[in-house]
Amino acid sequence: MKLDIQQLMTYAGIALSAVLTARYFSGHLYNLLDHFMFRTKDKRDPSLDEMIDQKHREFGGYGLRKSAGSSQADERASKGAPDKEELLRLNEDLSPEAQQRKLILQKIYSFDGRRLPSETEKNYYLRLLNEREPLNMEILKKAYKKKAREFHPDTFDLSLFDAKMKKKLSSRIHENYLHIQKAHEFLKKNL
């Protein structure tokens, strides 16, 4: 069976139009399914980063580093973050359940997994495991176990929160735990 150029071009055009049509409709079908079956993000819902920044403001910022000194404390005060006395007063005013929620949130958001621009990769991973000096395998193992126990997803009681908050918190907890595991793997390979 011989095909001439005109027939070949016709078949190629039909095949191309079928592929493009299928791709167009599959994209729209995916968006429809995403909209109806899976709730898309509401414009009023804060992103995870916005929620993290909000929690950091509520609990006094990212914490003071030794090199930052009082300038960071002044910056936090100017942003409207509560000082230590105000946090203590707020803790006294809360019910036991609200205090428990606040402690859980403080623990989750106290973990700073961001790498500073001036940090080397090794120093970043050492900071994540709360170590300052190069480690041997025994110290690394102890530091990892301690940090992994502290931030393991099963150690957090998220039943105190509503479903929407549980989802956001569980993703943050998982992210923190992955940072710890990655730090352990990197340091284990590069000792």
pLDDT in tens, 98-126: 788 888 888 888 888 888 888 888 888 88
Rg (CA), the chain: 26
Q: Among residues of the chain, what percentage have pLDDT more than 90?
A: 12
Query: Would you say residue 64 has pLDDT above 50?
Result: no
Residue 14 confidence (pLDDT) above 50: yes
Tell me the whole-structure pTM to 2 decimals: 0.51
Determine the pLDDT at residue 180. 92
Predicted confidence (pLDDT) at residue 189 exceeds the cutoff of 50: yes
Asked if residue 137 lies in contact with residue 191, where contact means CB atoms within 8 angstroms, the answer is yes
Return the residue matching tokens 């909209």: 35
Rounded average pLDDT over 169-175: 91
Higher pLDDT, 60 or 12: 12
- Surface-to-core class of residue 81, CB atoms within 10 Å of its CB (0-12 exposed, 13-18 middle, 19+ buried): middle
Q: Which of 2-16, 79-93, 176-190 has the lowest mean pLDDT?
A: 79-93
User: What does the longest C-alpha to C-alpha distance in the chain come to?
Assistant: 90
Indicate whether 145 pLDDT > 80: yes
Mean pLDDT computed over 39-58: 64
Query: Mean per-residue pLDDT for 157-180?
Result: 89
Q: Is the pLDDT of residue 3 over 90?
A: no
